């Protein structure tokens, strides 16, 4: 019986944690991580402040937990869909398209979560900044990984500068996100898609593999 009661408390605690993080991710994507507080989130969700505090312990830990939760959402919506496509330039394109869909579809109300919080903490030294920087490094590293896989599969022209290509395609998709968030202009997603496809065709050993995508 004691085990059942303990399991029940753990399950309720996990459910409350998911509820809180869903709210904090939404807030942070619009207002930034500094917009978070245990008291505010508790009030928004009709929870006790002491109960939320018991789950996180501090504002910084609430921020860090929010970043970790947002990373998991990003992986689900952006990284994993690319794995449905065989290694090659088609997978690179699928990754870029997944990012554009994630931003356009407002998985987070403020667009890309990490674009929103990166500017906020860019000039600060803190554990929060380190976590944001690590997430961005992981994102760029993943783009490079799928490009490397494309090269290994013989689908990139010899001598392709992967670091330059990572910079260009990430800049294109992230600019589409920024344009949409700042100006409410979704045409940037289509322009980014056209530009990414043109860039990939330029470096593809056989540009025809991207026909019809």
**Domains in the chain with CATH codes:** 2-206 (1.10.357.10)
Own/partner pairs, 100-106, CB within 8 angstroms, 24+ separation = 100/173, 100/176, 100/189, 100/192, 100/193, 101/77, 102/74, 102/77, 102/78, 103/173, 103/176, 103/177, 103/180, 103/189, 104/180, 104/186, 104/189
pLDDT in tens, 29-83: 999 999 999 999 999 999 999 999 999 999 999 999 999 999 999 999 999 999 9
Task: Flag whether the pTM goes above 0.85.
Answer: yes
Q: What is the mean pLDDT of the chain?
A: 94
Torsion of the alpha carbons at 141, 145, 151 and 153, rounded to the nearest 10? -170
pLDDT in tens, 85-126: 999 999 999 999 999 999 999 999 999 999 999 988 877 789
Rounded mean pLDDT, 185-206 = 97
170 pLDDT exceeds 70? yes
Tell me how far CA of residue 193 lies from CA of 12, 94, 101, 167, 176, in angstroms: 43, 11, 10, 15, 9
Res 14: pLDDT:
87
CA distance 67 to 134: 10
158 pLDDT exceeds 80? yes
């Amino acid at each position: 019986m004691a085990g059942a009661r303990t399991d029940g408390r753990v399950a309720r605690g996990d459910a409350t944690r998911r509820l809180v993080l869903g709210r904090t991710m939404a807030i942070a994507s619009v207002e930034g991580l500094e917009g978070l507080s245990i008291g505010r989130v508790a009030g928004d969700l009709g929870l006790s402040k002491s109960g939320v505090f018991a789950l996180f312990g501090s504002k910084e830990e609430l921020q860090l937990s929010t970043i970790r939760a947002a990373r998991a959402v990003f992986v689900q919506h952006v990284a994993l869909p690319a794995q449905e496509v065989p290694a090659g330039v088609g997978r690179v394109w699928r990754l870029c398209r997944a990012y554009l869909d994630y931003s356009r579809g407002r998985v987070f109300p403020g667009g890309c979560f990490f674009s929103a919080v990166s500017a906020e903490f860019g000039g600060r030294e803190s554990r929060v900044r380190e976590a944001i920087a690590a997430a961005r490094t992981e994102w760029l590293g993943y783009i490079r990984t799928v490009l490397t896989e494309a090269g290994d599969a013989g689908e990139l022209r010899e001598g392709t500068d992967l670091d330059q290509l990572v910079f260009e395609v990430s800049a294109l998709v992230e600019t589409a996100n920024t344009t949409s968030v700042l100006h409410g202009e979704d045409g940037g997603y289509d322009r980014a898609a056209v530009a990414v496809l043109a860039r990939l065709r330029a470096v593809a050993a056989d540009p025809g593999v991207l026909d019809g995508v």
